[in-house]
Amino acid sequence: MKSKKVAKVNRNVCVSCGACLMACPRQAISTPNGCYAEVNEDMCVGCGLCSKTCPTGCIDILDRMGA
Ligand code: SF4
Ligand code: SF4
């Protein structure tokens, strides 16, 4: 069953530092293009660790659509 929350990155603010990748216990985040982080929503459990770690505060934990 999917979590009710999911992480969402503000691409305009992300500096692709990689801190959220290190913080995520599910390996749900990657920086495939080197410009901003992307969340694999199927793997994200909405724990919020990435959001707490992000130095620019650009990750929000939102209600999952349709959950
Ligand atoms: S920690 Fe924040 S600024 Fe750094 S890559 Fe992740 S989302 Fe971007
Ligand atoms: S909310 Fe948790 S599982 Fe989802 S991307 Fe952030 S650290 Fe990973």
Taking only the tens place, the pLDDT of each residue in 6-47 is: 999 999 999 999 999 999 999 999 999 899 999 999 999 999
CA distances from 16 to 1, 20, 34, 54 (A): 30, 9, 6, 10
Strands of the chain, DSSP E: 5-9, 29-30, 38-39, 59-63
- At a CB cut-off of 8 Å and minimum separation 6, what does 9 contact? 20, 29, 36, 37, 38, 39, 58, 59
Centre of ligand 2 to C-alpha 65, Å, is 16
Q: Name the pTM for this structure.
A: 0.93
Map out the domains of the chain with their CATH numbers: 5-61 (3.30.70.20)
Spatial contact of 50 and 6, defined as CB atoms under 8 Å apart: no
| Nearest protein CA to atom 3 of ligand 1, as residue | 14
- Pocket probe for ligand 1: among 54, 60, 61, the residue whose CB has the most ligand atoms within 8 Å is 54
Of all helices (H) and strands (E), which one includes residue 19? helix 19-23
Centre of ligand 1 to C-alpha 6, Å, is 15
